[in-house]
Amino acid sequence: MATFHIPNAGETPGCHPLTITRSLGEFPLANVSLRRHQQAALIAAGLTEVTGPSPDFSVHPAAWFAPAELATFIADGSYGKMTTPDGAILLSRLNGTRDLRVTQSFAICFSWDLLRANVEAMSSRKTYVQESGGHASLYVDGRLQVGKGTKILPGVVIEGDVIIGDNCKVGPNCYIRGSTSIGDKCHVGQAVEIKNSILLPGTNVGHLSYLGDSILGEKVNFGAGTITSNLRHDGGSHRSPIDGQMVDTGRRKLGAIVGDGVHTGIHTSIYPGRKLWPKTTTLPGAVIDKDILA
């Protein structure tokens, strides 16, 4: 039986607001850690995880695997490296010699790559469990997974692929859509719209707020009327500042990247692709056109 080892993943460029207090391998995608996704994919492909030296396969700690490409690589013993177009080696075999170039698998190099991985993780689920707790007026057009102890109040509309964790409170009159995962013990208030986003546990999005194509860390509090912008007027791809340089994200839609413990004042407006470091704050009515560093 072939074996693999996944090293611990630390920070990756562009992910600092989200990984400064956790390793990337612990980051939840569809409310399951990246490392568990990697383990499940490799085990499904016929490998066994080991902790000792000299495994047959070495795994990039920030890899996201497309099942078909992974199966192709594992099945052909002549392949030595699974490589992305930008040169990242996602998986290497001890005795292989050929290079398999992949286009669907990728390395999570920037924080917005987590949104892409979350969509993949959500859509690839074969089974899901829905607990009770939704009001009779709940409207669902898509797949909704609801955790234990969660209350969904009247007037909530779900469209797309949505996961809501345990002991959450959602509503009333919320609109949640796209591929959105909400962690345990979150509160989504009156008339909030959330689209294609990730909320980590313990986070509160105050009433009359909009969150689109964004990531909120743990125990974030969005004050009432906090709005993320996620679309350029010219429809082009967003750029985001990394180490003093504006990096093209390749995304037409991108909102905010928010670290753990951030609090925004009411009516805060956040430019696309801006990042707020852990425990930073904004004043009421603030317009965030630059990253807010710790």
Inside any domain, residue 23: yes
Q: Is the pLDDT of residue 252 over 90?
A: yes
Inside any domain, residue 114: no
Inside any domain, residue 93: yes
Statement to judge: residues 157 and 272 lie in one domain: yes
Statement to judge: residues 163 and 277 lie in one domain: yes
Q: Name, in order, each residue with C-beta under 8 angstroms of 245's C-beta and a sequence gap of 6 or more.
A: none
Q: Please name the residue ranges forming H helices in 107-223.
A: 113-123
Inside any domain, residue 131: no
* Residue 207 is a catalytic residue: yes
Inside any domain, residue 58: yes
Q: Give me the number of domains the chain comprises.
A: 2
Q: Is the pLDDT of residue 115 over 80?
A: yes
Q: CA nearest 286: which of 242, 253, 256, 254?
A: 256
Q: Which tokens hold the place of 58?
A: 């070495």
Here the CATH number for the domain that contains residue 182 is 2.160.10.10
Q: Is the pLDDT of residue 128 over 70?
A: no
In three-state secondary structure terms, 200 is coil
Q: Is the pLDDT of residue 131 over 80?
A: no
Q: How much is the pLDDT for 132?
A: 64
Q: Is the pLDDT of residue 192 over 90?
A: yes
Inside any domain, residue 124: no
Q: How much is the pLDDT for 275?
A: 96
Q: How much is the pLDDT for 218?
A: 98
Q: Select from 109, 130, 162 the last residue of a domain.
A: 109
Statement to judge: residues 99 and 153 lie in one domain: no
Q: Is the pLDDT of residue 1 over 80?
A: no
Residues in the chain: 294
Statement to judge: residues 161 and 278 lie in one domain: yes
Q: Regarding predicted confidence, which is higher, 112 or 129?
A: 112
Identity of residue 275: K
Q: Is the pLDDT of residue 216 over 90?
A: yes
Between vectors from CA 278 to CA 273 and to CA 283, what angle results, nearest 5°?
75
Residue span of the structural domain in which 225 resides: 139-288
Tell me the sheet residues that pair with 288: 270
* The model's pTM: 0.95
Inside any domain, residue 294: no
Q: Which of 207, 238, 263, 267 is catalytic?
A: 207
Statement to judge: residues 218 and 179 lie in one domain: yes
